[in-house]
Amino acid sequence: MNGHGRKAPLSERPHGSRRHAVARGRRSPESGAPAAAWAAILLLLLLVWPAALRAAPPAGAAAEASTTGSSTTPGIAPTSPPASAPSAPSGEPIHLAGIFALTGVATSANAGATNGLRAAINEINKRGGVLGRPLVLELFDNQSTPIGSMVAARKAVAAGVAAILGPSWSSHALAVARVAQDAKVPMLATIATNPNVTEVGDHIFRACFTDRFQGRVMADFARRELHAATALLFTDVASDFSIGLSGEFRSAFAGHGGKVLGELDYKTRRTDFTPLAAQARASDADVCFLSGHDEAGLIVTDLAQAKASCLPLGGDGWDVPIFFQKGGNRLKRGYYCTHWSKEATDQITRELVRRYASQGPLDASFALSYDAAYLIADALRRAGTEEHAALRDALATTRDFTGVTGRISFNQNGDPIKSAVIMEIRNGEERFYKRIDPVR
């Protein structure tokens, strides 16, 4: 092992290494060993030596504990196994907290996130873990509420975890972020897009873009591509995510010369949107922007039944299977913004789909959580320790990390600069429509 806890390349091993010791202890033919035995030894060396060279890291490879910010490790594991399987991690486990809704109204919407974390951590451990130590995911239930999220965060901090992953919903993430920042525990939100999440403090990061970006993306799309002149907003006033995204869309749509006719408010657990759908029909808006989560599936159903003429648009809250189960699968036409599409043609996405499509739905929350686990693993390697301050600094210097959802570099706020995807729904079937790159 070199000074950073990683095997040195063959060319850098000291002369006292086991390879040289074996050479010194070998008997020559002149020393009395039978010729047949000597030939067998030579044959064995010819068979084993190439595999040993393939298994060794190249000379000059970066040390595991390097603290430089450049990180180009792909998230997905290689498609072919190495010449020699990595040794199983044997050190003390590194504990990570995952805070998500395991009970309550957000359970179904959060399922993809927990599945993505499990998949990535399982891969990482099969490849030798981090710093020779296995990662252990401890899930804490936030009970689908901000208060439950705060309680779960306190439990995670008390458990002494190295970092917190999640939550998914912005209202939940804001509550966790305040606890994590006070305790100086690094937190990496997976799909919480409200800008205020990372503004809580310098220990808070996210794997996804923000509502400022996706709100502008959808407003620009509505004006320039759909040629919408008027819009009506549906906003969940109990959701920080919905309130923030509606505000971003409103501001950007008006900035592009559009007119927002009004905003229809509701609260998270509502299931009957018939009265609001009737108001939408009366407004005769060109588009209806639904900024909430999976309840948007109920809204689009009621809009269709009311024969409202507006074209439904949404944000990444639509990108969960339960949205389609609640009515999205009957939507004639609509568009929403998200982080990733399983239809993408890049090699990393194709490999992820090949591995996991048969195990359940693959959505953006799965892909972002998968990337988040690898981001934490990458930062741990570069920090060389699970100590909170060092891990936080390593996360902050992440540059050009190649993940399933794109290349990730954190800005000064802990937010990544990355692309968005617009998905089209036609007759209940979704398909990739286009990618929108940020202005860098």
Smallest CA-to-CA distance from 218 within 293, 316, 320 is with 316
What pTM was computed for the model? 0.78
pLDDT reported for residue 89: 77
Confidence bin at 177 (pLDDT 50/70/90):
very high
Q: Are residues 311 and 378 in the same domain?
A: no
Domain holding 401: CATH number? Answer: 3.40.50.2300
CB-based contact 145:80 (threshold 8 Å): no
Q: What is the pLDDT of residues 347-358, one digit of tens each?
A: 999 999 999 999
Give domain status of residue 205, yes or no: yes
Q: Tokens 């929350």 map to which residue?
A: 365
Q: Are residues 330 and 197 in the same domain?
A: no
Contacts of 68 (CB under 8 A, 6+ apart): 62, 382, 397
Q: Are residues 258 and 393 in the same domain?
A: no
Q: Are residues 235 and 290 in the same domain?
A: yes
pLDDT reported for residue 91: 87
Rounded to the nearest integer, the mean pLDDT of the chain is 85
> Quick one: DSSP state of residue 186?
-
Q: Are residues 177 and 284 in the same domain?
A: no
Q: Are residues 204 and 349 in the same domain?
A: yes
pLDDT above 90: percentage of residues in the chain: 76
Q: Are residues 317 and 427 in the same domain?
A: yes
Do you know the residue count of the chain? 440
pLDDT reported for residue 90: 73
Q: Which two tokens mark 418?
A: 């990355």
Confidence bin at 76 (pLDDT 50/70/90):
low
Q: Which residue segment(s) compose the domain that 228 sits in?
A: 212-338+422-436
- Cα separation, 289 vs 283, in Å, equals 13
CB-based contact 111:130 (threshold 8 Å): no
pLDDT reported for residue 360: 86
Q: Are residues 289 and 432 in the same domain?
A: yes
Average pLDDT, integer, range 129-140: 97
Give domain status of residue 229, yes or no: yes
Give domain status of residue 234, yes or no: yes
Query: Is pLDDT above 90 for 214?
Result: yes
Q: Are residues 287 and 427 in the same domain?
A: yes
Q: Are residues 110 and 198 in the same domain?
A: yes
Q: How far is CA 117 from CA 61, 93, 97, 123, in A?
A: 28, 16, 10, 10
Pick the more confident residue, 439 or 157: 157
For 314, phi then psi, to 5°, come to: -150, 180
Q: Are residues 316 and 226 in the same domain?
A: yes
Give domain status of residue 86, yes or no: no
Domain count, the chain: 2
Angle formed at CA 402 by CA 399 and CA 405, multiple of 5 degrees: 115
Q: Are residues 153 and 259 in the same domain?
A: no
Give domain status of residue 414, yes or no: no
Give domain status of residue 30, yes or no: no
> Quick one: DSSP state of residue 117?
H
DSSP helix/strand/coil, 297: helix
Give domain status of residue 430, yes or no: yes
Q: Tokens 């800008």 map to which residue?
A: 195
Give domain status of residue 16, yes or no: no
